[in-house]
Structure 1
Amino acid sequence: MENQKTGFIPLYRSVLKQPWSKDVFLRTLWDNLLLNAARQPYTASFKGRQWPLQTGQLVTTSADLGLNLCDRNGQPTSRHTVDRMLDIFEREGMISRAGERRKGTVITITNYAAYAQKMDDLPANKGALNGEHKAAHNKPSNGAGLEGDAAHNHEQIAALKPAHHEQQGNNNNKNIKRSSLRNSGESRNDATEKFLSRYPEATDGIYTPSGKSWGTADDLKAARWIYQKLLVVNASLSEPKWVEWANTVRLMRTVDRRTHREICELLVWASEDDFWDSNILSPSGLRKHWDTLSTQRARKPKNSRASAAPLNFDNTDWAEGLLP
């Protein structure tokens, strides 16, 4: 009851199925967001300002979130690292953000009500479900919000008891391999820090934990600009894996010696060509066919819809800071 009075929230095993949950810092950050979000509308006082919050929202800064993400030595996580983790949650559609990052950011947890609702609050679970679970454990259920309709309730009830004892067994084995798990997390963090020290320009961009794929902030900006242009050709184009797109833009820039402007100009030409518009739908496709595209562009084939006028990049947000 004390947990309920202070605003508890269920946690779900489905979280463990997500690839990002293997990162202990990402999982802890997600837990902290859930636990600190408003259970009901109220006005929060933060950094000398009043913030009207709705259910599922919290106001904070990346630096403050980092203070609650410490390593074994008590060293808090940097705000830049927290920003990158929040970017992951935002790309996954788990949160949205608004406000100024250092003065206060309002984080909204998507579908918070589904997380916060107790099982005995659900209409389909009232009555028989609570009664049977009470009989099985001699106490009422504050369960974890089972998914599914009423037709599946009986099957779910049967699964509750073994799941409970399975969790109890897991708790009895807390000390098994705990040190090896810590060492694994430390090694992963060390690898990331080593990568960032070698490529500091990746800090404000995007990268995989191993550093295998990455791009600078400008590479990511160009990748997003390319995506918007391709949506004009194919409105149903799925949102890309941004780290891979930014990585390809970076390779074209550093390995192939193309500028961001050259990359985007050729992409625009291809998207306006009668043949290439349906064949070049990513930076990797552009890179693969660069020589062919450049040759055909120079010849200005008759079936091309591309305009001969030079591109005007002056009014595009992505170009800021990229062009001489």
Structure 2
Amino acid sequence: MAPLKSLEKDYPMIDSNFQHFCASQGILSVEDLLIHDLDDLVALARQNSASGRLKQGITQVLSIINGLHQPWLNGMELLKDVQQNKHILSTGCERIDLFLQGGLREGYLTELVGPSSSGKTQVCLKAASNVAKAHRGGVVFLDTGNSFSPKRMAKFTISDMVNKEANQKILQEVLKSIVCHSVFDIFTLLDVLNQLKSSLMSQIQIGGQVQLLIVDSISSLITPVLGGSSSHGHALMISAGYLLKKMANEHNLAVLVTNHMVGGEGGISKPALGESWKSIPHVRLQLSREQGSNTFNMRLLRHPYMGSTCVNFGRVYYLPQKLQFC
């Protein structure tokens, strides 16, 4: 949680005197105050010459905390929130959208799992381009392996090669709406996500209203900190997952992450990150490529209200060195 000093600018009762009083009791942040015995703190404040102002400062910090709590909502309010705020974003690929009954859902964390060259990054780039172009929304692309390619993005965005001037204008608008960050470890990811969350809370728009957040790939950041006797890596994984879900719900984002496959029992591949991560995504999609062909399949592993199923994307057409769905 926030240091008390960071609240001073917006909350006059949390001034330097209040901060010094709290620091004398080992309280430096909002979290420290929460775990402190408030009755003891109020009693100590009464002994201070500025007792009235100190008690007002304690009340103000508690009111800030209460303001951050999600209100209780009944079924009708939840339905209204879904209908008014949680939109469906087209991926730009007709077959994927049909398979998902429209596309990626705001408020949901969707995971793409699959082996190398199964099309995970391709879907991410296609979705980013289409959200920026068709929905005119902002996209944040967290790139963990230098997979973001403006040239490939241009192939998705430009369809009419006759009017080059108009195409260039469209491409510029699309690329301006996509903010790309290079993220190479879990700690940087958490830092970037918290910065983004603060920006969204402050209503600071990034390339337009942010509608899509992509992490390609989440597993490359988490895998290095897992394993061993320590539970620290597991805790970091759960923290990252729930932060992504929280941001999706509170800020009406569609969150799309990619994950790789690892060997399982009997030599059968399975999604990486284990059983604990398995329960975090709202939607899990498995991509695969049929050996020796250009046929791609998508299988639904998990969805809140859709049964498990599979779709075959058939043959695809080539782009330079890459394949494109649809």
TM-score (norm 1): 0.20
Q: Decide which structure has the larger Cα Rg and report it.
A: 1
User: Which is richer in strand?
Assistant: 2
Q: More relative contact order in 1 or in 2 (CA 8 Å, sep 6+)?
A: 2
